[in-house]
């Protein structure tokens, strides 16, 4: 039986030791990591500059935030009126490191400024599913026991099997630690893994692809009907870094800003297309959704198209550009042809 609590303690200890050494040896100015959240089943980002504060760093199965989101605004500091580049160490599970790699490819950050502190992620819990099963009860305490999560509150206690309540994206994830390559070996400390390519059968979207066009339309309407257009998904995504999002533009206005299902669908579809060949499937968008909507289906479907058509997986290499950044004369163009 897997002891998740023991695994977490080992990950946390290694992570803290690496972070402490980096700060002590002045190899970084800042560490970006996870700290305890103010509520059960939650964590919060933390920014550490002093080695004495390293014990604030934690690892648990509620560390769902993609910390790469905080790199762009924290990579520089205003000192005496001058912008100075900081050397940043960032706690990175596989999907966080893949986001960093893609940000490097898109020239949003400089490789010389980043130290990736690799950890071997053991999965993130689906907090929304657990809260839904608990219902109106308030969760006041959680505890890991073996391969189960025990949730406690006023006059109730319930046990959940960890693997059954892990995020769906985590269940089939094959890149648990930062992917390493010759061009990145000097930027990664801690855990890492070699990944030349990724064979993903996309089993989770097989049923969706079997549906007719009308059935797919009805299915997506049902999935997104509760969306309130709060844009939490956009704010959590490390690849949504535009200063002005297409949603907020007034001239031109791309589509309506109402909560009508048509405007909701357009927002999610256009955002999904903006992430084509860029999404690293970290699941942060779904984790922060206040309505508990699983947004992974859209990005998984688009990632499958990108993999089939261009044989590309985001965030594995600094050398290979995403399909939206380049082209080849022999790129498949069957989408332009009339179907039989």
What is the domain partition of the chain in residue ranges? 4-123+174-193, 197-336
* Token reading at 263: 């405007």
CB 236 within 8 A of CB 285: yes
pLDDT the model gives residue 336? 62
- The predicted model gives 269-274 an average pLDDT of 90
For residue 328, the model assigns a pLDDT of 74
* Owner of token pair 């989408």: 335
Note the pLDDT of residue 248.
82
- Taking the C-alpha atoms of residue 48 and residue 24, their distance in angstroms, rounded to an integer, is 12
How far apart, in whole angstroms, are the C-alpha atoms of residue 218 and residue 6? 44
Residue 100's contacts (CB-CB under 8 Å, 6 or more residues apart) are 68, 71, 90, 92, 109, 114, 116, 315
Give the pTM: 0.91
pLDDT, average across residues 63-79: 86
Model pLDDT, residue 337:
57
pLDDT category at 58 given cuts 50, 70, 90 is very high
First-residue to last-residue Cα distance in the chain: 53
Total residue count of the chain as it appears in this document: 340
pLDDT at residue 260 is higher than 80: yes
**DSSP structure class, residue 55:** G
Whole-number Å distance between alpha carbons of 196 and 193:
10
Q: Which long-range contacts (CB under 8 A, 24 or more apart) does 43-49 make?
A: 45/70, 47/74, 48/19, 48/23, 49/23
What is the average per-residue pLDDT within 63-90? 86
Contact 74, 30 (CB under 8 A): yes
HSE, CB side, 13 Å, CA atoms: give it for residue 325: 15
Widest CA span in the chain: 67
Written as one string, the DSSP assignment of 200-254 is: ---GGGHHHHHS-HHHHHHHHHHHHTT-----HHHHH-TT---SS-GGG--SS--
Rounded-to-integer distance, Cα 96 and Cα 103, Å: 11
| pLDDT value at 339 more than 60 | no
Over 70: is that where the pLDDT of 201 sits? yes
Query: Percent of the chain, pLDDT > 70?
Result: 97
* Neighbouring-strand partners of residue 95: none
Radius of gyration, CA atoms only, the chain: 21
Average pLDDT over residues 160-175: 90
pLDDT confidence of residue 108: 92
Q: Is the pLDDT of residue 206 over 60?
A: yes
Of 66-80, 206-220, 245-259, the one with minimum mean pLDDT is 245-259
CB 280 within 8 A of CB 315: yes
The better pLDDT of the pair 334, 274 is held by 274
């Amino acid at each position: 039986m897997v002891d998740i609590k023991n695994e977490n303690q080992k990950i946390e200890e290694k992570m803290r030791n690496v972070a402490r050494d980096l700060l002590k040896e002045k190899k970084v100015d800042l560490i970006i990591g996870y700290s305890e959240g103010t509520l059960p089943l939650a964590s919060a980002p933390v920014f550490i500059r002093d080695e004495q504060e390293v014990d604030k760093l934690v690892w648990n199965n509620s560390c769902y935030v993609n910390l790469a989101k905080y790199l762009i605004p924290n990579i520089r500091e205003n000192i005496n009126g001058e912008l100075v580049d900081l050397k940043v160490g960032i706690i990175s599970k596989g999907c966080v490191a893949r986001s960093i790699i893609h940000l490097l490819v898109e020239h949003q950050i400089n490789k010389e400024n980043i130290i990736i502190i690799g950890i071997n992620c053991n999965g993130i819990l689906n907090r929304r599913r657990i809260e839904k099963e608990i219902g109106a009860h308030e969760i006041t305490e959680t505890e890991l026991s073996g391969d189960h999560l025990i949730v406690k509150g006023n006059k109730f206690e319930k046990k959940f099997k960890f693997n059954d309540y892990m995020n769906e994206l985590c269940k089939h994830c094959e890149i648990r630690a930062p992917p390493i390559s010759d061009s990145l070996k000097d930027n990664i400390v801690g855990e890492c893994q070699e990944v030349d390519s990724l064979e993903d059968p996309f089993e989770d979207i097989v049923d969706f692809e079997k549906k007719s066009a009308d059935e797919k339309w009805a299915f997506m309407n049902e999935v997104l009907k509760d969306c309130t257009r709060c844009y939490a998904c956009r704010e959590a995504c490390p690849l949504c870094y535009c200063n002005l999002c297409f949603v907020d533009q007034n001239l031109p206005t791309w589509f309506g800003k109402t909560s009508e299902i048509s405007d909701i669908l357009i927002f999610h579809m256009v955002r999904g297309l903006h992430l084509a060949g860029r999404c690293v499937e970290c699941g942060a968008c779904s984790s922060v959704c206040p309505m508990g909507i699983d947004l992974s289906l859209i990005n998984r479907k688009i990632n499958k198209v990108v993999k089939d058509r261009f044989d590309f997986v985001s965030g594995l290499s600094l050398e290979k550009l995403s399909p939206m950044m380049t082209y080849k004369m022999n790129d498949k163009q069957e989408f332009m042809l009339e179907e039989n």
